[in-house]
């Protein structure tokens, strides 16, 4: 089993690990590489991997990380104001969002789809790699803390999972 402990810069990869967003957010993870070998991801706590990151194994191998296709909702509009409103309302719910020119994507959820459609965007479901924004505080697209606070527009304290 390879032990992947370090994220490195430019180097020719010898293997590939295709991981979901949830898996890329974990600092400890057992994975099967595309060539069938087992590997243990053993990164510093709080590390988050992005598509294209390179991991060096203790054994010398270099593994490239690829974002796995996931079930997404893609909301589109030519109206930048509507796009900003959609991103704002999803962000206010701590939903990880990937942004593009005229579109935004989030993990598929029919309730969120209805909300975004209600704002005036069109929504389609598709499977694709998911690379949400990293977040203002470096939490990899959302934040994982467990305390109460009331910084939201709605003003009601709540707990984060």
Domain ranges of the chain: 2-67, 69-129
Strand arrangement of the beta sheet that strand 2-8 belongs to? 15-19, 62-67, 54-57, 2-8, 38-42, 28-32
What pLDDT does residue 152 have? 38
Distance of alpha carbon 122 from alpha carbon 75, whole angstroms: 5
Alpha helices in 17-154 (DSSP H): 21-24, 80-92, 110-118
CATH number for the segment(s) 69-129: 3.30.70.790
Query: What residues in the chain have per-residue pLDDT under 70?
Result: 135-161
CATH second-level architecture of 2-67?
Sandwich (2.60)
Helix (H) and strand (E) counts for the chain? Answer: 3, 10
**Residue the block writes with tokens 């992005």:** 50
Report the pLDDT value the prediction gives residue 5, as an integer from 0 to 100. 82
Q: What does the alpha-carbon distance between residue 6 and residue 3 come to, in Å, rounded to a whole number?
A: 9
Q: Residue 90's closest CA among 124, 125, 114?
A: 114
Over the Cα atoms of the chain, what is R_g? 18
pTM: 0.75
pLDDT of residue 161: 41
């Amino acid at each position: 089993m390879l032990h992947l402990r370090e994220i490195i810069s430019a180097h020719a990869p010898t293997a590939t690990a295709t991981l979901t967003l949830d898996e890329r957010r974990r600092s400890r993870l057992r994975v099967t590489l595309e060539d069938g070998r087992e590997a243990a991801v053993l990164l510093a706590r709080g590390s988050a991997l992005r598509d294209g990151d390179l991991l060096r194994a203790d054994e010398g191998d270099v593994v490239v990380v690829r974002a796995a296709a996931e079930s997404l909702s893609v909301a589109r509009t030519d109206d930048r104001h509507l796009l900003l409103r959609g991103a704002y309302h999803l962000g206010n719910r701590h939903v990880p969002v990937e942004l593009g020119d005229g579109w935004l994507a989030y993990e598929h959820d029919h309730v969120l789809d209805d909300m975004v459609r209600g704002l005036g965007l069109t929504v389609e479901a598709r499977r694709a790699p998911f690379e949400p924004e990293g977040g203002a505080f470096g939490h990899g697209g959302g934040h994982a803390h467990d305390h109460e606070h009331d910084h939201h527009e709605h003003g009601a304290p709540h707990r984060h999972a």
